[in-house]
């Protein structure tokens, strides 16, 4: 009887120790795997985002083909007007998927009020991708692009305003009153649709230096 009680006691202690070890191992595994899983999720989101941009790039070139080789033109600067559609709306004609204009990492695309699409039924969810104003607000033929591989036609984050360079994300953090929404990135990178149609990410802090905003420059 005494032997059986000791045996049960030993077994209970061992089970408790085993449980503690299991908890420790699980905690270690979670701490190791969680960053890996989050990185994998970030990479998947960045890839989806880049895929969105490539499709929009194809829409740009269909637009160009149908508009005498001119890039999309819009004087849209905030107020929705049917006679003055935003570039997203111009391109939506050729690629009818408004969700493609939203980066999967961008949780609040509707917060951005500069390129907001007030009355446009398809774009109530907003857009993550912004266009170079120097390209959009001037009538530019494709042939005017001096260095298409270095000219950023569209980027996620903040648009470059007319006459300035691309400035994305954290550089403008805090200026929310101006309607700038800077709450996402892809591990500090932002995707860019370049003038020749390729999509490649740049570090958000180097966007102003590496991405040309003027197609004629
Ligand atoms: Zn993105």
Bigger pLDDT: 62 vs 29: 62
Could you give the number of structural domains in the chain? Answer: 1
Least confident of 13-17, 28-32, 41-45, 74-78: 74-78
Q: Which of 54-63, 99-108, 160-169 has the highest mean pLDDT?
A: 54-63
CA of 139 to the centre of ligand 1 (A): 27
CA of 189 to the centre of ligand 1 (A): 9
Residue 197 placed within a domain: yes
Bigger pLDDT: 174 vs 148: 148
Residue 35 placed within a domain: no
Give, as one character, the DSSP assignment of residue 138. S
CA of 212 to the centre of ligand 1 (A): 19
CA of 152 to the centre of ligand 1 (A): 15
pLDDT over threshold 70, residue 160:
no
Taking residue 141's Cβ as centre, other Cβ atoms within 10 Å add up to 13
Share of the chain above pLDDT 90, in %: 22
CA of 20 to the centre of ligand 1 (A): 41
Residue 69 placed within a domain: yes
pTM exceeds 0.85 for this model: no
Closest CA to 208 of 161, 139, 173: 161
CA of 34 to the centre of ligand 1 (A): 21
Least confident of 65-74, 85-94, 180-189, 207-216: 180-189
Closest CA to 195 of 211, 173, 176: 211
pLDDT attached to residue 80: 55
Residue 74 placed within a domain: yes
Dihedral (Cα; 79, 83, 88, 94), 10-degree rounding: 170
Residue 217 placed within a domain: no
- The predicted-structure confidence for 123-138, as pLDDT tens digits, reads as follows 666 778 888 878 887 8
Q: What are phi and psi of 63, to 5 degrees?
A: -55, -50
Query: Sign (positive/negative) of CA torsion 199, 76, 160, 128?
Result: negative
CA of 129 to the centre of ligand 1 (A): 8
pLDDT attached to residue 169: 47
Domain that holds residue 191: 47-210
Residue 33 placed within a domain: no
What is the pLDDT confidence band of residue 117, given thresholds at 50, 70 and 90? low
pLDDT over threshold 50, residue 186:
yes
Q: What b/e sequence results for 94-110 when a residue is b if at least 16 CB atoms lie within 10 Å of its CB, and e otherwise?
A: bbeebebbbbbbbeebb
Residue 200 placed within a domain: yes
CA distance 153 to 198: 10
CA distance 83 to 135: 19
CA distance 64 to 90: 11
Q: What b/e sequence results for 62-73 when a residue is b if at least 16 CB atoms lie within 10 Å of its CB, and e otherwise?
A: ebeeeeeeebbb
Residue 8 placed within a domain: no
């Amino acid at each position: 009887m005494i032997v059986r009680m000791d045996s049960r006691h030993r077994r209970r202690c061992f089970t408790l120790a085993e449980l503690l070890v299991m908890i420790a191992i699980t905690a270690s595994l979670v701490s190791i795997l969680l960053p890996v899983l989050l990185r994998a999720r970030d990479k998947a989101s960045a890839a989806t985002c880049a895929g969105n941009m490539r499709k929009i790039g194809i829409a740009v070139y269909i637009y160009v083909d149908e508009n005498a080789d001119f890039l999309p033109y819009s004087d849209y600067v905030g107020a929705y007007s049917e006679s003055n559609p935003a570039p997203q709306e111009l391109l939506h004609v050729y690629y009818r998927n408004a969700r493609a204009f939203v980066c999967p990492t961008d949780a609040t695309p509707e917060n951005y009020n500069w390129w907001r699409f007030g009355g446009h039924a398809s774009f109530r969810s907003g857009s993550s991708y912004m266009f170079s104003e120097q390209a959009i607000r001037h009538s530019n033929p494709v042939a005017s692009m001096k260095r298409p591989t270095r000219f950023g036609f569209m980027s996620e984050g903040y648009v470059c305003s007319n006459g300035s360079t691309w400035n994305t994300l954290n550089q403008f953090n805090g200026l929310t009153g101006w309607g700038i929404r800077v709450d996402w990135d892809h591990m500090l990178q932002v995707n860019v649709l370049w003038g020749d149609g390729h999509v490649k990410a740049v570090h958000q802090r180097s966007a102003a230096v590496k991405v040309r905003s003027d197609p004629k420059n």
